[in-house]
Chain A
Amino acid sequence: MASIREQFEIPGKMKTWALGLIAVGVLAMIIGLVTKGMGDEHEKTVFIGTLMYNSLFFMLICNASMFFICATTLAMGGWQVVFRRIPEAISTLVPIFGGIAWVVLMYIVFIDHNHHIYHWLSEEAKTDHILSGKLGFLNPVFFLIWTTLAIGLWIILGAKMRKLSSEADEAALRGEEPGKSFVWRNTVSASLFIVWFALTVGSTVPWLWMMSIDAHWYSTMYSWYTFASSFVAGMSLIALFVIYLKNKGYLEYTNQEHLHDIGKFMFAFSIFWTYLWFSQYMLIWYANIPEETIYFKTRVQGPYKGLFFLNLIINFVCPILILMKRSAKRNYTLMTFMAVLIIFGHWIDFHQMVMGSLSKEHVTLGWLDFGIAAFFIGMIILFTGRALAKKPLVPKYHPFLKESVIHHT
């Protein structure tokens, strides 16, 4: 009856890597600020736009972890309990990245008044007969209120879920009554999060932050598409940390069976993303209405053609061919490769969603993008590591822990 390694200690190497990446990122941002940020309007827009899509992407994929926890809680899932502390730890990044994203967005709207990014901020918008009609939604005051509320409530409701989870470390949770009450309280908090998530990520927030860059354009699918993109990348992030901890000899109760199911999520939601991608693209292509096809004009026929197809190859062709097999989802090396690939693929997706509208003439993907991404990745490693070290890795008295231990897929 061996006791388990419950306490994670941050290895020196992990810290070095994290700090190194953050340093690279800060350096890139400084060089970017000097070379582009001080440049002409277009250069400046590219700089801020790059900061913006990175902060939104990494915030959303970390928030996807909390969505995963809440969705499995509401579904009364048991299988994920053995590694549940990992998405919890990743979700502690939401306040940090939320803060960064908030600052970037507010800078664009209130300080920079950057109408190259948000065309609706310009004076012309008041006379443009389409844009003037939208100003009830696209205006700085509503932008401030809704952005603050969205991020703020994700932070508060997420913190509540994590706090509840700590109770599962205490033996007092054993027995039927305390167990039932624990499940019930989790269900209530999770449902609050999910409802708020639907009202923000599932609808309003992607319209406000990203779709409004193409201020005249609209697509009802846009938000669900953004959700699918960030969720599948978020699942891949969870997979990476699970594999890392397994390799370091932690998470004794987590095994191939759990990895297999995480792999199924990555597979299924890659297909789901493709389904939404196809539905949006095909319907716009088929109806061929100029107001709608304009969005895909630069992306399919213009300079973004390469990225457009790369997006499909990485996010659809690779997952369906590689992750279809049972053995692939149970293979640590292949899963690591696929998780990195999927995160990269959806980062590219966010890049083309935002930059495809800001820099229509040429693709700007380069050192600045990778540099800023390095900063966010470094932050994820550092803070997830810290959060993991703060709590036991296994919620020992969670009522469904035993189900999770004996899990066969």
Chain B
Amino acid sequence: MAHLKYESQLREPLVTGNKDYHQVTEDICRPIEAKPTKLWYVGFYIAVALLMFGVYSVYREVTYGIGQWNLNKTIGWGWDITNFVWWVGIGHAGTLISAILLLFRQGWRTGVNRAAEAMTIFAVMCAGQFPIFHMGRVWMAFFVLPYPNTRGPLWVNFNSPLLWDVFAISTYFTVSLLFWYSGLLPDFATVRDRAKTKLRKLLYGVAAFGWTGSTKHWQRHESLSLVLAGLSTPLVLSVHTIVSFDFATSVIPGWHTTIFPPYFVAGAVFSGFAMVQSLMVIVRKVFALEDYITLGHIEAMNKVIVLTGSIVGCAYLTELFMGWYSQNKYEGYTFWYSRANLFSPYGWSYWGMMACNVISPQIFWFRKMRRNLFVTFFMSVLVNIGMWFERFVIIVTSLYRDYLPSSWSVYYSPSTWEIGFYLGTFGLFFTCFFLFAKYFPVVAIAEIKSVLKTTGDTQKDGMDKQEEMQPEEFVHEYAH
């Protein structure tokens, strides 16, 4: 009998608990069909409250102007752009998992891809708020769209990386949304077919676009996934590349450096995976999904974290080295005084970034640590703090010392409404995520089923005979 895929017994099973197809459906649909728990309500209301605070903060900013924030003429970008880059970075893991890992045929993506993609979409939504409201007169936001107009005609500046951002992020958002949604179709149909009330049947039925599960549907679905994966792969790279161009095309010391594009992409994947870890460690516990999001999944993601953290570390050290090697006084001052000198006004933020992003993730070289849930959760939060500081360091420490000492601004701290806006995006993010967790299948049912028969523990236990075969015998028996 010829096989299409064979997986060594040495690899741990991706689905545990000796599941069959029906149990998979039951386990994943349970939270959707049950009433929300008290814990869910508590979390949801906290998220909504934060969102409301954010809305009020934005209201203040829109009504009274950017002066509500503590930016000044030297530090013209502060928390707003830091938060923007931070959220966009987080929004990289989902599409990386769903697209690039699909192309790499990594079976473990099936356990986490759905939630990671959802997280990506919410994170990009949060990111978009910052540049939009930083415009000040937000009612003019449509000026970023290039179309023949009656304003002169006044066109957008196609030479500006800020405009490229508009294109890159909106494309990324659209494709990610399509990818996520097309993956959801078969699962919505499953929920629809199990629905007990008419309303549920109608709503999930509409959401499922009339999916019947016919071979033709599946065939089209598979080719669509592959095409979208092919499209998303360059998008994953392009978005943060263009975000890095916002800085690197300038001549500001500390911003203008050629390594920025790949280093930003690595950092984005790094922070995205950390956010997926933070969410997954909780979701698998609350929804009892430990058989689908196993320690093996957590470990695989921790490996990605140590890899990307080290790439980012390599880039930090490269920049620091070039700050000296270039013998450019301004570069040297930015890197060795404004950043690496612990006793300079913002030196602490540089070392905070180094500790969180480069030094502490090295703990994941050890298997025991990669499989420890407490360490994983703690580290994932630490990495996201570190990645926030990375953007803060890049933006603020390059700006606060102007070329003219008379313009130096030694002190910048956010106002209440600046912080409020940031907290508000957390509110938005978690409001969306709580709704998603309640009404959507958080693990891709159909995809888990597709790997069950090659990587489930039942299958693995029955493989002794094949594993013991001589290679020639095995080839004769199973290859074609």
Contact surface of A with B, Cβ cutoff 8 Å: 1-4, 76, 78, 129-131, 133-134, 137, 174-176, 179-180, 183, 191, 198, 202-203, 207, 218-224, 253, 275-276, 279-280, 282-284, 286-287, 289, 291, 394, 396-397, 399-403, 405-406, 408-409
**Closest 10 CB pairs between A and B?**
A220-B259, A221-B258, A279-B261, A406-B6, A133-B327, A1-B476, A286-B249, A280-B258, A130-B327, A218-B326
Closest-CB distance, A176 to chain B (whole angstroms): 7
Residue of A nearest to B313 (CB): A198
Counting CB contacts under 8 A, is B289 at the interface? no
A180 to B10 CA separation, bound complex (whole angstroms): 7
A400 to B248 CA separation, bound complex (whole angstroms): 44
B248 neighbours in A (Cβ, 8 Å): 283
Q: Is the CB of A408 within 8 A of B4?
A: yes
Closest-CB distance, B469 to chain A (whole angstroms): 8
Q: With A287-B249, A406-B479 given, can you name 10 additional A-B contacts, CB distance below 8 Å?
A: A1-B473, A76-B11, A176-B9, A176-B467, A220-B260, A275-B237, A279-B262, A283-B245, A291-B328, A399-B8
Counting CB contacts under 8 A, is B251 at the interface? yes
Residue of B nearest to A198 (CB): B314
Residue of B nearest to A279 (CB): B261
Counting CB contacts under 8 A, is B466 at the interface? yes
B325 neighbours in A (Cβ, 8 Å): 134, 137, 207, 218
Counting CB contacts under 8 A, is B287 at the interface? no
Question: What would 11 A/B residue contacts be, using CB atoms closer than 8 Å?
Answer: A130-B327, A191-B365, A218-B325, A220-B258, A220-B259, A220-B322, A221-B262, A224-B262, A406-B3, A406-B5, A408-B5
B327 neighbours in A (Cβ, 8 Å): 129-131, 133-134
Q: Is the CB of B5 within 8 A of A78?
A: no
Closest-CB distance, A402 to chain B (whole angstroms): 5
Residue of B nearest to A199 (CB): B314
A1 neighbours in B (Cβ, 8 Å): 472-473, 476
Given contacts A207-B325, A279-B241, A402-B474, contact A220 B257 (CB under 8 A): yes
A373 to B321 CA separation, bound complex (whole angstroms): 34
Chain B 1-30 interface mask (CB, 8 Å, partner A; 1/0): 001111111110000000000000000000
A12 to B187 CA separation, bound complex (whole angstroms): 61
Of the candidates B8, B245, B315, B317, the one having the most CB atoms from chain A within 10 angstroms of its own CB is B8
B314 interface neighbour in A191, A202, A286, Cβ under 8 Å: A202
Q: Is the CB of A284 within 8 A of B317?
A: no
A316 to B161 CA separation, bound complex (whole angstroms): 24
Counting CB contacts under 8 A, is B475 at the interface? yes
A403 to B478 CA separation, bound complex (whole angstroms): 11
A217 to B6 CA separation, bound complex (whole angstroms): 52
Main SS of the interface on chain B? helix
A347 to B250 CA separation, bound complex (whole angstroms): 33
Counting CB contacts under 8 A, is B471 at the interface? yes
Counting CB contacts under 8 A, is B200 at the interface? no
Q: Is the CB of A405 within 8 A of B262?
A: no
Residues from 50 to 76 in B contacting A, C-beta threshold 8 Å: none
B319 interface neighbour in A176, A220, A402, A408, Cβ under 8 Å: A220
A405 to B237 CA separation, bound complex (whole angstroms): 32
Residue of B nearest to A228 (CB): B262
Residue of A nearest to B248 (CB): A283
Given contacts A180-B10, A405-B474, A405-B475, contact A218 B262 (CB under 8 A): no
Given contacts A1-B472, A405-B474, A405-B475, contact A276 B5 (CB under 8 A): no
Q: Is the CB of B258 within 8 A of A223?
A: no
A263 to B422 CA separation, bound complex (whole angstroms): 45
Q: Is the CB of B260 within 8 A of A276?
A: no
A275 interface neighbour in B262, B467, B476, Cβ under 8 Å: B262
Closest-CB distance, A394 to chain B (whole angstroms): 8
A176 neighbours in B (Cβ, 8 Å): 9-10, 467
A134 to B258 CA separation, bound complex (whole angstroms): 20
A396 interface neighbour in B257, B317, B467, B471, Cβ under 8 Å: B471
Counting CB contacts under 8 A, is B461 at the interface? no
A287 to B249 CA separation, bound complex (whole angstroms): 6
Of the candidates B10, B250, B260, B466, the one having the most CB atoms from chain A within 10 angstroms of its own CB is B10
A1 to B321 CA separation, bound complex (whole angstroms): 59
A374 to B135 CA separation, bound complex (whole angstroms): 60
Contact surface of B with A, Cβ cutoff 8 Å: 3-11, 105, 237, 241, 245, 248-251, 256-262, 310, 314-315, 317-319, 321-322, 324-328, 365, 466-468, 471-476, 478-479
Closest-CB distance, B227 to chain A (whole angstroms): 13
A279 interface neighbour in B260, B319, B466, Cβ under 8 Å: B260
Given contacts A279-B241, A403-B7, contact A220 B473 (CB under 8 A): no
Closest-CB distance, A278 to chain B (whole angstroms): 8
Q: Is the CB of A2 within 8 A of B6?
A: no
A183 neighbours in B (Cβ, 8 Å): 10
Residue of B nearest to A211 (CB): B325
Given contacts A202-B314, A406-B479, contact A276 B8 (CB under 8 A): no
A348 to B181 CA separation, bound complex (whole angstroms): 46
B365 neighbours in A (Cβ, 8 Å): 191
Given contacts A1-B476, A203-B318, A220-B322, contact A283 B10 (CB under 8 A): no
A399 to B474 CA separation, bound complex (whole angstroms): 13
Closest-CB distance, A282 to chain B (whole angstroms): 8
Given contacts A280-B258, A289-B251, A406-B3, contact A2 B472 (CB under 8 A): yes
B475 neighbours in A (Cβ, 8 Å): 253, 405
A282 neighbours in B (Cβ, 8 Å): 249
Residue of B nearest to A221 (CB): B258
B310 neighbours in A (Cβ, 8 Å): 198
Closest-CB distance, B250 to chain A (whole angstroms): 7
A222 neighbours in B (Cβ, 8 Å): 258
Residue of B nearest to A284 (CB): B258
Q: Is the CB of B10 within 8 A of A289?
A: no
Q: Is the CB of A406 within 8 A of B8?
A: no
B249 interface neighbour in A129, A191, A283, A401, Cβ under 8 Å: A283
A78 interface neighbour in B8, B250, B256, B479, Cβ under 8 Å: B8
Residue of B nearest to A184 (CB): B367
Closest-CB distance, A125 to chain B (whole angstroms): 12
A133 to B328 CA separation, bound complex (whole angstroms): 10
A126 to B322 CA separation, bound complex (whole angstroms): 20
Residue of A nearest to B104 (CB): A75
A183 to B8 CA separation, bound complex (whole angstroms): 12
B324 neighbours in A (Cβ, 8 Å): 133
B5 neighbours in A (Cβ, 8 Å): 406, 408
Closest-CB distance, B163 to chain A (whole angstroms): 14
A286 neighbours in B (Cβ, 8 Å): 249
Residue of A nearest to B300 (CB): A76
Given contacts A130-B327, A218-B325, A289-B251, contact A403 B260 (CB under 8 A): no
Q: Is the CB of B259 within 8 A of A224?
A: yes
B478 neighbours in A (Cβ, 8 Å): 405-406
B474 neighbours in A (Cβ, 8 Å): 402, 405
A397 neighbours in B (Cβ, 8 Å): 471
A210 to B319 CA separation, bound complex (whole angstroms): 18
Q: Is the CB of A275 within 8 A of B261?
A: yes
Closest-CB distance, A397 to chain B (whole angstroms): 8
A400 interface neighbour in B8, B249, B250, B262, Cβ under 8 Å: B8
B479 neighbours in A (Cβ, 8 Å): 253, 405-406
Q: Is the CB of A4 within 8 A of B472?
A: yes
Q: Is the CB of B322 within 8 A of A218?
A: yes
A405 to B327 CA separation, bound complex (whole angstroms): 54
A341 to B256 CA separation, bound complex (whole angstroms): 34
Residue of B nearest to A76 (CB): B11
A131 to B326 CA separation, bound complex (whole angstroms): 9
Closest-CB distance, A187 to chain B (whole angstroms): 9
Q: Is the CB of A276 within 8 A of B249?
A: no
A191 to B364 CA separation, bound complex (whole angstroms): 13
Residue of B nearest to A400 (CB): B8
A130 to B5 CA separation, bound complex (whole angstroms): 59
A130 neighbours in B (Cβ, 8 Å): 327
